[in-house]
Structure 1
Amino acid sequence: MGGSRVTVAIVCEQPMARAGLEQVVQDCPGVALCASVPSVEDLETARPLEDNQVTIIDLPQVPYRPALEIIAKLAVSGPPLVSSSWDQPPTLLAAIRAGARGLITRYSDHRSVTQTLLTVADGGVGVSPELADRFLAEVSRPAEVDDSGLAPREVETLRWIALGFTHTQIATRMGLSPATVNTYAKRIRAKLNVSNKAELTRVAIELGHLAQGQRRYPAR
């Protein structure tokens, strides 16, 4: 850390989780806690973001694109260390591309968080051991798989569903059997953690696969 003391800010909605992160920072050599608040807005109100400040952000439950915007905004001043359950978009790679330099889970232990924080504070990119296999899998996946984890045919299926077509109609348009479309739809719901067509349409817009307000076709 070049002999200089690194300042760390914490942004986490949950008081108990925030207290746990505070303890990690306080026990971490060479770093100083400068702020601990429930939201990015509170952080901006509490004090201006310092240059090269590490911000530990526990991603709030917001849509995919706003989550990436939060990371990118924090990255302007210093390297963000992002915590999430990672059970819905964004993916780990999407967070890194947005500017994150550290990745942990809400279930990472004290040692994992400390190691990742020190790596980020030293100017590196840190991934907690709990996420290592998942991160390698994302890095190794085909380039055509998008940041939500959907393969090209799944993206195409998502677009048709969001436009209001039935599985039978989608099967005809994609040259597939209805059973295959059903399988794609189940995979999409699992990957995006949604349960109905309304949520699929919302996520399709958030991921950039369907324009806001694009006309839904009537079933026919």
Structure 2
Amino acid sequence: MDIDGVWIRARGITARGPEGNAFENVHLHVEPGSLGVITGAAGTGRTSLLLALAGRMRVITGDLVVSGHVLPGESRAVRRLVRPARLRPGCELERSHRVSEAVTERRMISGVRAEHIADALALVGLAPYRRALVRELHPADRLLFEIALAAATAPAGLVVDDADAGLPPASRHRVWSALRGVAATGTTVLASATDPPSKEYEVCHLPARPHHRRHGSRV
């Protein structure tokens, strides 16, 4: 595949959630076809930042541009370019479905062909038993399955939440290798993690925010 990945420029962006600012004064620069990693402890706004970069959460201050589309005004165009593989909560595979049912559902929703899903599964190094329930898959395999289903549509951008959550080192290595493989196709990949995997990725670290603070901190 030869995909034109999205580029992202963020300067001083802030988004607000039900309990105050979800993240504050974030600066980010992501090149097309790269793997960007958003790190930080729980509660620092990793998921919210992914949502904002994917056009799914409104920024209230700062400048955010995704491949020439200015947010929040052009969020619909950005949502067409940047697809979620997993965003928590709300965007995960139905665990009671079988692998074959999840594949069929994705083909019906996106119109992707069976051979493209097969290619994407091979790309991430996964060959799941088609009769297995999604909840029966190993957590790393379940995440790789979600990544493959999203990558099969050849999106310009892909977001993956909690890429390292609950995984031992060997499984983390599999996931990061798979994400690097997806980025190698040209898709720009944005993933959140508790710890940065290595120095070879573009990393945006979100600092801890005291509950009483409401004003910006620079990243």
Q: Normalising to structure 2: TM-score of the pair?
A: 0.32
Which protein, 1 or 2, shows the higher relative CO under an 8 Å CA cutoff with sep ≥ 6? 2
Q: Normalising to structure 1: TM-score of the pair?
A: 0.31
Larger proportion of helix: 1
Larger proportion of strand: 2
Q: Which structure's CA Rg is the greater one? A: 1
